[in-house]
Structures are given as structure tokens and as C-alpha cells.
Structure 1
């Protein structure tokens, strides 16, 4: 499945990995990174709106969709380097970056590792990896059971999920959407097909978030490394639901932060694309500190 009207190219990231990338519009570059259990197609409505003013670059992350699925290389540092390399190959040395869910974790790492490349940063419905693990405790952590499942050593999680992949990935599509109609049947089928073909790489992506990604965040925290660009975070009100201050967690990483909650579900770019497009446009008007 493609975003109508966008050109499709295969672009090298790092380590020889080829990414499937949709490109549309003209002007300054905005890169959109998808989440789980989706592909770049989740951005279809937002991408069309932004393409009126910007060059919009929409890749499938490594391990997802039609991009290559190597056995290893799923640290957010490597995945962030993919994004920077893709933009550079397309002629853009600097760009604004918007990520949802898994893509937001990649975007967060790109902002820390490449502060002179990422001009503006938006993260949708996540906490930074280190903070995510710190706030998950007690029975409230049951909401993130998949995080713990896919954090296990290689083998068991892959076999369990592959045995009923449509039910596993479909569970999250159904549970996390406040407006199920926002993901039409053909799009849902596309997501399930793409995930069915990517079980090992999806698990590897999640496993990295319980291992190397935590270690990388700990180093940045110890060194006082922060996001130096304007940052917008939009998320459901998980802080109130689970008992933590989400805005404060983000503020510790992002001094120039705009934080807001949404009444949409987790798939907010599909459930309320107008809200997300408006927020992206507002972010791009902000000057770097």
C-alpha cells in the first residue's frame, strides 16, 4: 500500500540497509516516522497536507514495511542514523523530524545524536526509553505487557508472536484506537500483512529498547546531553492514568518544550490528522533557542 501521489524510492541507510521511502511536495524537508504496529502509511493524511509547503519524506523504518529487515542493528542510534542518511541521500542536510511511537523513539535519539541536523522535533505518544522503564511498575505495568515479552532473549517471543501474529498485532490496533474507523479495513489488512512478515525484526526493535537503548539514554543523562531544538510532545494523558508527570519527564530532556495531551487515541495521526498537522506547522514556526 502506498501514499497516493507520492514518489517511491529505495534509499540506503547505514550498513547497506535499503529503506522504502515515500517522497512528496517541495520546500524544506519534514521527515515522518511511523510507529507500531504500522508502516509509513499511517502518515497518509498528514503527509498530503504538509506536502503543500514542504518536501515530506516518509520512510518505513528498518525492519518494518517494505524496508530491509536485517537480523541485527535495531538500536535507536542505528535507526536514527538511517534517517539522517536517507535525508542526506535525498539532498537534505537538515530537516524537521516527527515520530510516532517507535518512530518517536528513533526521532528522540536522532535529536540527541544529530542536533545540527534535526531543526525541530515532535514526538507522539511516548516517553523517552529510560523514563518509560522507570515509570512502569506494579500492576499498572500490565498495560505494557508486550514490552516485557519482546525484551526476552531471542527465540521465545518470536515463536509465540509468529504463531498468532494477526491476533497479536490486531489486538493493539483494536485496543489503542479510540476511533476504529480511522484505520479502514484495507489499511488494517496492510498493517497486519506487513507485521506478519516482520516478526523477528519487530521483536529485535523492542528488545533493543530494553538493552542498548537504555544504556545510551543513561550515558546522555549522566553527561547532561539534552535536545537543543524546539520540541513538541503530544500524548494521551498517560501521566494521570499511571501516576507520573509526563511533561516534567520530557522537560528534563527538552528545555524548549511544548507539551500537550490529546483526546484522540494512540493512533492520533490517523484519528485526528488535523490536530497533528496544525501542531507540526506551529512547531516549525518556533525559533531555535
Structure 2
């Protein structure tokens, strides 16, 4: 049996442009949407979502192009842009009757969450990012030999063809991200196998997502920065202490985007929702208790 979020129903929800998202949904009350990162699926929330379902309707979708959600061919740079994925999330929440919702994301999902907060501030009441910087800042701080830690960003930013072929030929090496970014033994065997299976089947769309991050997503962030657009809702950021190693002030970078910011440097690895779910649940409960502007 494929592992899933315990006690949740697996449903199909409409995104945009005819795309259907697979989502685990449970609980009742105000809506909270949780977005996964790479190379994961909505399964990453299996220890977090059930706790939050005591007070909220928790919606855990697979992003378009990931997991069991639709993965349309990349007809252009916007097919897998964070803007398009953010619109998917807003549409999926509305399909369940939630015009307003809190939103949290990890890694790639956090970038989609930020874009949703910027593009749809009337829909997103609260926002949480786990262990990532906004796209514009990520590219700005990567330079010299320190950029080697993000080699995959540069590979998947290349024009269509070579990255897909190289990655498809070695797709199980996605496991190196799980092993290198998380502590040893973090993922149960069946969960690790599911992440690798799901990623292996979605190489073209995963590469298209990353390619958008180096192109259209960067452009959208740059336009917002030039226009002075900021996140207006309460924002919480949980981050490892990797700013010091790479020579930047993560809290200051986030402060340029969020007026109401709670930035926390936490004792956890990249996959903190799976390594320290109680820490993430506590931070989300604190965020949800903050008043909406």
C-alpha cells in the first residue's frame, strides 16, 4: 500500500488550465494549506497535518508536476512557474469552499507559497516558509565556490533536453538529496521509496519547475522588488543556520519581503517537518494565533 497522510482523504481538486491536483484533506475549521518541497510529495506532512487537523481543515496537495497531480507538458515558461502553481493552490482551496486560507510551504512549496502571498494577498491570511529564501535572493547569494552546494539549480536551469536526459538516466540519484540534506535514517524505507518513485516518474516537470525558478520566477520577483510589493500577512520563517556559512543574513533578506515577520533559526535539518514535526506544528500554531492585518 502506498503510504499517505494518516486519517486523511485523498481527493482530486481543480487547479488552473484544466490541471487536477491530488490532495490529502482532513480536519475541519479554517483552512490551512501545506505545500511540499523537492524531492518530496504531500506525504512529507504525514506527522504534521494530523496534529493541525484538530483545529483546521488541512489541505496537502501535490504541486502540479509532482506526485499524483497532473503533469502537463511544459508548453512555455509559465506552465510550471511559481505564479501558475500559486494560482493552482488558490483554485484548489476555493473548490473546497475556502476563499481565504493560511499557507505553509517547504522548499519549492515555500516559493509557491510566497508567490501566492504576493499575488493573492486577499486569499492568504498567514504564511510560513520552511528552509528556503525567496527566489530572487537565492540567486543573488549564490556565488563563487559556495554555489557548488546548489549545483542542481544550475543543471536544471539549462535549456530543455540535456538536463532531462541526464536526470532521467540517473533518477534514483535523487536519493542523494534525501540523504545529503537530512540526517541518516530520517526517512522510513517505504517513504524514501515513494519519494524516489514519484520523482522518477516526474523528471520533465520537476526540471521545468526548476527552470522556471531561474527564469520567469526570478523575473516576477524582480518586478515585485522594483515595485515595492511585500507580503502583507503575518509571516513565519523557519530556517537552518546556513546563512552564516554562505555569508548572508537570512532574517534581513526575509525582512525586505515581509512587514510582519517572525524569523526563527532552528536546530533542525532541511527536512524539518519530518525530522522535528512538533517544532513545525508549534511554529504554525503560533503563526495562526497572530492577528490578521
Q: Do these two structures clear the TM 0.5 threshold for a shared fold by scoring above it? A: yes
The structure 1 segments of at least 4 consecutive aligned residues displaced by more than 4 Å after TM superposition are none
Which residue does the alignment assign to 2:112?
A: 106
Once the two structures are superposed, residues 105-152 of structure 1 have per-residue CA deviations (whole angstroms, 9 ceiling, x without a partner) of: 000000000001000000001000000000000000000000000000
Who is 1:193 aligned against? 197
Distance 1:136 1:94 in 2: 35
TM-score in terms of structure 2 length:
0.97
Deviation at 1:288, TM superposition (A): 2.3
Q: Distance in 2 between matches of 1:242 and 1:3?
A: 35
State the alpha-carbon separation in 1 of the partners of residues 6 and 134 from structure 2.
32
The SS at the match of 2:60 is strand
Residue of structure 1 equivalent to 2:242: 238
Match of 1:125 in 2: 131
For structure 2, list consecutive stretches of 5 or more residues without a partner in the other structure: none
Q: Distance in 2 between matches of 1:47 and 1:239?
A: 28
Q: Distance in 1 between matches of 2:249 and 2:52?
A: 31
2:273 to 238, 244, 269: 269
Report Cα offsets for 1:242-274 as digits up to 9, x if no partner. Answer: 000100000000010000111111000000000
The answer as to 2:15 corresponding to 1:17 is no
Distance 2:73 2:107 in 1: 22
In structure 1, what is the equivalent of residue 43 of structure 2? 41
Aligned residues: 287
1:64-143 matches, within 5 Å, as 64-72=66-74, 73-143=79-149
The residue number in structure 2 matching 1:165 is 171
CA distance in 1, matches of 2:188, 2:241: 25
Q: Aligned equivalents of 1:183 and 1:223: distance in 2? A: 42
Any idea what SS the aligned residue of 2:40 has?
coil
The match for 1:255 is 259
Unmatched tracts of structure 1, length 5 or more: none
